[in-house]
């Protein structure tokens, strides 16, 4: 069965550069979530989209923006990168927004800022 | 105090042992996930629960909504079960994660 796809899997950037992370949800899933997991930390919710509209916003820095496109894939844009942005970024997708819908996780993008 | 608390933080077991990981939460939830994360980082969803009990192979998950508590049990543990097990609760659309339990199963 198709899973959530994230690209790239690994990314190395320098401070003050920009990065774009992509997430392709499971086919027919209309909801996408982004999470950030710093080294040795538990994942933190960043932002979510349902039917191409932002549905919830967590601890996402103003330097970050995200959107969901007409084909339901999502992109997380990160500007003015800082060393502290180095983390594993997970995308998850679900069939809907309601509590009964399970979230399926992608393999993550490991971002290293040097 | 974290909204989601897991215990123990670290657990070492011998192959074949019965393992229990506990999760307590303090917020209203619509569902609770048990997730597995291997050293490479990928997260796999083991269970999503909103009531009662679920079983998949050697894994059993239970939840008591009134007591805001869930447990993950592994029967006949095996070294390949070694991973971080994370409890995550769904409130609204977002998941809030526990700090995880590092499980090591020795042969």
Say if residues B89 and B6 touch (Cβ distance below 8 Å). no
Q: Which of residues 74-93 of B touch A (CB under 8 A)?
A: 86, 88, 90, 92-93
* Per-residue 3-state assignment (H helix, E strand, C coil) for chain B: CCCEEEECCEEEEECCCCEEEEEEECCCCCEEEEEEECCCCCEEEEEEECCEEEEECCEEEEEECCCCEEEEEECCCCHHHCEEEEEEEEECCEEEECCCEEEEEEC
pLDDT band at A102 (very low <50, low <70, confident <90, very high): confident
pLDDT band at A9 (very low <50, low <70, confident <90, very high): very high
Contacts of A33 in chain B (CB under 8 A): 93-95
Q: What is the pLDDT of residues B13-40, one digit of tens each?
A: 999 999 999 999 998 898 999 999 988 7
Query: Which of B84, B94, B101 has the highest number of chain A CBs within 10 A, making it the mutation to test binding with A?
Result: B94
C-alpha to C-alpha distances, A77 to A35, A46, A67, B10, B29, nearest whole angstrom? 13, 12, 9, 35, 30
- Please judge whether B33 and A103 are an interchain contact, meaning their C-beta atoms are less than 8 angstroms apart: yes
pLDDT band at A1 (very low <50, low <70, confident <90, very high): low
> pLDDT value at position A106?
94
Closest residue in chain B to residue A40, using alpha carbons only: B99
């Amino acid at each position: 069965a198709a899973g959530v796809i994230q690209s790239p899997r690994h990314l190395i950037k320098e401070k003050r550069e920009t990065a774009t992370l992509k997430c392709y949800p499971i086919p027919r899933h209309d909801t996408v979530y982004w999470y950030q997991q710093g080294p040795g930390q538990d994942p933190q919710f960043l932002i979510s989209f349902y039917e191409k509209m932002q549905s919830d916003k967590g601890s996402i820095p103003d330097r970050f923006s995200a959107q969901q496109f007409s084909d339901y894939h999502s992109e997380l844009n990160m500007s003015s990168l800082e060393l502290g942005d180095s983390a594993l970024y997970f995308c998850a997708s679900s069939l809907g927004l309601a509590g009964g819908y399970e979230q399926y996780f992608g393999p993550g993008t490991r971002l290293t800022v040097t | 105090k974290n909204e989601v608390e897991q215990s123990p933080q670290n657990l070492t077991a011998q192959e074949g042992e019965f393992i229990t990981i506990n999760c307590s939460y303090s917020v209203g939830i619509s569902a609770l996930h048990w997730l597995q994360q291997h050293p490479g980082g990928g997260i796999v969803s083991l269970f999503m629960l909103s009531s009662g009990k679920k079983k998949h192979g050697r894994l059993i998950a239970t939840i008591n909504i009134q007591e805001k508590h869930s447990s993950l049990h592994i029967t006949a543990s095996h070294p390949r079960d070694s991973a971080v097990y994370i409890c995550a609760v769904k409130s609204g659309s977002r998941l809030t994660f526990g700090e995880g339990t590092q499980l090591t199963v020795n042969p």
